[in-house]
């Protein structure tokens, strides 16, 4: 199956899943909050309170060990088809509709053979994801991809999968709007968005990337990801209190940028009532999800920047800049390299 076929089939597959009852859609409302010049979205979805949940963590762990919804045989009402491996040409990825959808046409790219959600993205993961984004753009659909890597990232399943969300805003998710406005002196290097409250690492793709050969696309994507992953791990190593275990981070992929955000916690504890608010890549895309009016007001009261910082890490870009490894977005939207402003 080609990426263009996937994009064409997704709407009918979504309707098929709904009609069968195998895909559950949870209606929601979007609330806009502006902080520090960033227009965030908070999606209120009360119906998620009714989403089936294991009774306790031990039951959840047991179910994860005995049942993998991302391994074949797939539910025929959620399965779209396979994407091939770039080099071997075999069936490497299954495309599935997301069973629990808050946004219509939310789909997944899942490794056919089991791989861990704690493993980094491979060149083939990145290339196939980017090809899906190109196909979506050609179909005049605004889609971006994200990957929750590690136990602290907000990942819901241990089987490796990337997720794809279609949004109405032609400018992309909120994080992309501010990233796009940064002027880069050295566009072939990673940079950080300085006005954000948390450590973030970004790479801007060449404007010609979508028109290059697949080999050139793969090389560019892989190099970008490795450079950002190195910076994320460097950021983690600067934190003496980072939890033991493999590093966790969120990845956001658009046609223009790759974002990698290191994580320190899966949940933010709301000050007003102590409830645990989960945060995944969508939160760092600027699109948080809450389940009640109480949570909505708590998030507004505490501030999204504070919440994202609490589950992320502090920026150490100054040390990284002095090591000549990253460029910096300074106030005024102008990026400079190798110097401290």
Catalytic machinery residues: 161
Query: What are the angstrom distances between the C-alpha of 143 and each of 21, 25, 32, 316?
Result: 25, 18, 20, 31
Kindly provide the b/e burial profile for residues 84-122, where b requires at least 16 CB atoms within 10 angstroms of the residue's own CB: eebeeeeebbbbbbbeebbbebbbbbbbbeebebbebbb
Residues 6 or more apart whose CB falls under 8 angstroms from that of 235 comprise: 199, 201, 262, 313, 315, 316, 320
């Amino acid at each position: 199956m080609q990426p263009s076929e996937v994009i064409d089939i997704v709407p009918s597959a979504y309707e098929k899943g709904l009609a069968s009852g195998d895909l559950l859609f949870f209606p929601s409302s979007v609330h806009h909050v502006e902080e520090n010049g960033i227009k965030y979205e908070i999606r209120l979805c009360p119906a998620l309170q009714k989403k089936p949940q294991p009774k306790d963590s031990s039951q959840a762990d047991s179910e994860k060990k005995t049942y993998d919804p991302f391994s074949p045989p797939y539910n025929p009402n959620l399965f779209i088809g396979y994407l091939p491996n770039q080099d071997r040409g075999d069936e490497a990825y299954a495309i599935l509709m997301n069973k629990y959808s808050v946004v219509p046409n939310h789909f997944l790219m899942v490794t056919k053979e089991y791989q861990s959600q704690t493993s980094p993205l491979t060149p083939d993961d990145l290339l196939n994801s980017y090809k899906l984004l190109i196909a979506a753009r050609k179909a005049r659909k605004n889609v971006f991809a994200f990957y929750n890597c590690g136990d602290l990232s907000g990942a819901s399943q241990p089987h490796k999968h990337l997720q794809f969300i279609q949004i109405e805003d032609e400018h992309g998710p909120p994080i992309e709007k501010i990233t796009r406005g940064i002027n880069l002196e050295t566009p072939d290097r990673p940079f950080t968005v300085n006005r954000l409250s948390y450590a973030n690492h970004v790479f801007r793709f060449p404007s010609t990337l979508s028109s290059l050969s697949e080999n050139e696309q793969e090389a560019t994507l892989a190099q970008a990801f490795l450079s950002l992953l190195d910076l994320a791990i460097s950021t983690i190593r600067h934190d003496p209190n980072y939890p033991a275990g493999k590093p966790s981070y969120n990845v956001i992929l658009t046609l223009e940028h790759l974002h990698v955000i290191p994580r320190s916690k899966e949940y933010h504890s709301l000050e007003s009532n102590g409830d645990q608010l989960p945060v995944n890549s969508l939160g760092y895309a600027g699109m948080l999800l809450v389940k009640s009016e109480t949570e909505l007001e708590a998030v507004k009261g505490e501030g999204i920047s504070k919440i994202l910082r609490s589950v992320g890490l502090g920026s150490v870009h100054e040390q990284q800049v002095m090591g000549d490894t990253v460029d910096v977005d300074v106030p005024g939207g102008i990026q400079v390299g190798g110097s401290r402003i």
